[in-house]
Homo-oligomer: A and B are copies of this chain.
Amino acid sequence: MTSIRKDSKVSKTTTRLGRRSGGGVTLTDVARQAGVSVMTASRALNQPHLVSDDTRKQVLEAVANSGYVPNLHAAGLRSKRTRMIALMVPSIASGSAFLLAVHAMTEILVEAGYQVMLSERGYDRSRDDMVLDSVIARRPDGIVLTGLMESPRARQHLAASGIPVVETWEMTDTPIDMLVGFSHYDVGVAIARYFHEQGRRRVASIAATEARTAARFHGFADEALRLGIAGRHLQEGSSFVIEPPSQLGHGRSGLVRALEGDPDVDAIFSATDMVALGTLMEAQLRGLRVPEDLAVVGFGDFDFACNVTPALTTVRVDHEDIGRRTASMLINRIEGIAPDNPIQDVGFRLVRRESG
């Protein structure tokens, strides 16, 4: 039987196009070359301690000679473990804070023997169902979501799939499974209080439609109103709403519009550090002194925040911490260990520099 199959394969292979010909090195080929059974070859690669030194050497040699690369689809199909973690991010095109967390997480997961598969989730929530199904179709061992998943159908599919899920970068009492995040609303509140303490009396914000940025804005607006330091725009319930991704240009145009309706604004909370940088530049060009005339605070503590002048006051989230906690929760859960606390709040920190 074995020889028949082998022959038929060889003849098929050689009659095919050149490009596709080499793709067919299987574990069976390796095993034959090494003079052992397929099962032994498999063990030599995945549970090396279970085979004799001699056998292992033979197999590894055959692997090297043949250029064998395992087919993880076959392995995953049979073993139900794909050693793959799916990471869903809103977008990779913008330099957003969560990309740093992704980077940290990737290192840990790769270390632990998992491969990460990044998917762009987009900013269009209506596509969540489709995108998620295409992820589940690959049967990852775990899924990390940037943001919450609110679509009922998506939540149901996720739960039904039995795949461990970590939602990140936000806070809720009702995660699908596990959560590592913080409250964006609270960030906004904290900035409003900070401005108040600093003696600012007419504050404004450059917000965005993206859910997390909007949450920060709402916290900021609510608290500013409560403290009586809301500028005209905040009082009227309006802000300068921008579409993601947030760019430097939005910071400039946002400040222009803020000053138009309310020339005495003395503090701006910008959607992200990139937007804040634009605000900073526009202020300087208009001869406003920062922070004396105008305080500018951003969000994210991007790489450049400490390298601009005046250095940017901002909100820092420990991305490495998010990455680390997410990775370890996931790995534990995959190995059957329930997390001590499935909802983890990593908090945030106001980094006071020079701009406000």
Contact = CB atoms under 8 A, between A and B. Distances in A.
Contacts of A117: 117-118
Interface string A283-296: 00100000000000
A95 to B, nearest CB: 4
Interface stretch (A17-25, A30-38, A342-350): A17-25
Given A23-B139, A23-B163, A69-B161, 8 more contacts: A72-B137, A73-B74, A92-B103, A116-B120, A118-B118, A247-B307, A248-B304, A249-B307
Contacts of A100: 93
A74 B139 CA distance: 10
18 contacts: A19-B162, A22-B159, A23-B139, A23-B160, A67-B160, A73-B74, A74-B77, A92-B102, A93-B100, A93-B103, A116-B120, A117-B118, A245-B303, A247-B303, A247-B307, A249-B307, A274-B304, A285-B309
Contacts of A175: none
Contacts of A274: 304
Interface residues of A, number: 63
A137 B102 contact: no
A252 B311 CA distance: 13
Contacts of A351: none
Nearest to A115: B134
Contact of A249 (B120, B249, B277, B304): B304
Contacts of A160: 22-23, 25, 67
A189 interface: no
A23 B143 CA distance: 14
A69 B134 CA distance: 8
A257 interface: no
A353 interface: no
